[in-house]
Structure 1
């Protein structure tokens, strides 16, 4: 098992809170972390469901959902940023 620190930003922070820890099996990906959160039910299911526009950063670097997690990693979720 590994334990990662989760952070949420912008509208996700308002709905899900600032940060928390998550334990997952070793070798888990960002996608697996997201699925574990969705499995908790609302409000996670509504905000992080597959198909929702959500970006991820692993240890403060943008990352693909296939990126593997290690014990102690920081995983942040945030909505895409638009500008004008």
Structure 2
């Protein structure tokens, strides 16, 4: 099982802060994002380049390797003024 968390505007867009996904041999964060995008149009933002991700609370790229039991977080880019 992989726990997936969504933060800030991403959470608002989906109407959920987290979900569990049965681990099916996905190798990378990009694989998980692709699987979620297949659920429908509202998930398409996960393919955007500027969406940030973390595995087990460590910022990473979408090419990061994942394992069963990992936590993946997606969040929008941080902006400041």
Query: What TM-score do you get using the length of structure 2 for normalisation?
Result: 0.88
Alignment partners' CA distance in 1, 2:60 and 2:33? 13
Q: How many residues are paired up?
A: 80
Larger relative helix fraction: 2
Aligned to 1:25: 24
Aligned to 2:6: 8
Query: What TM-score do you get using the length of structure 1 for normalisation?
Result: 0.85
**Pairwise CA RMSD:** 1.4
For residues 8-58 of structure 1, give each alpha carbon's deviation from its aligned partner in whole angstroms, at most 9, with x where no partner exists: 00000112211001124325200000100111013112x22x234200011
User: Structure 1 regions of 5+ residues with no counterpart?
Assistant: none
Is 1:55 matched with 2:48? no
User: Structure 2 regions of 5+ residues with no counterpart?
Assistant: none
